[in-house]
Amino acid sequence: MAKLPQISEAEFEVMKIVWKDAPISTNEITDRLTQTTSWSPKTIQTLIKRLVNKKALTYEKQSRVFIYTPLVAEREYINQESSSFLDRFYNGNITSMLSAYIENDKLSEKEIDTLRSLLSRRADKGGD
């Protein structure tokens, strides 16, 4: 698997909108982010340009409008980031991570039930 670009938290907010609604124009991205952040349109445009330079986004000019689509799949990026987090903080051991979350009351009962359900389905499939 190719190494995906490093995306800052702010850039990730832009990516979430593009992943959800691509193809999407600069104005649509800006409108959505100005509703949920205190960022200026200029800041948002800078974030978009950075993502294009990092090859996380591509664009097509339609008349006078730039339309963006992702070059990085959301699932692929999330998997890379979660794996990186797991390696960095828990030496790649998911059991240690889940134990820490459970012991420090970071998981709700609903989340624990969801994990039980996922593990049960995995066991029913015969997974290791």
Instruction: Indicate if 26 and 57 belong to the same structural domain.
Output: yes
Instruction: Indicate if 86 and 112 belong to the same structural domain.
Output: yes
Instruction: Indicate if 78 and 119 belong to the same structural domain.
Output: yes
Residue 84 belongs to domain with CATH number: 1.10.4040.10
Strands across the sheet with 65-70, in order?
24-25, 65-70, 57-62
Average pLDDT over residues 75-102: 86
Whole-model pTM: value is 0.74
State the total domains in the chain: 2
State the Cα–Cα distance between residues 11 and 29, nearest whole angstrom. Answer: 12
Residue bearing the bigger pLDDT, 106 or 14: 14
Q: What's the chain's average pLDDT?
A: 91
Q: What is the pLDDT of residue 87?
A: 84
Q: What is the pLDDT of residue 67?
A: 98
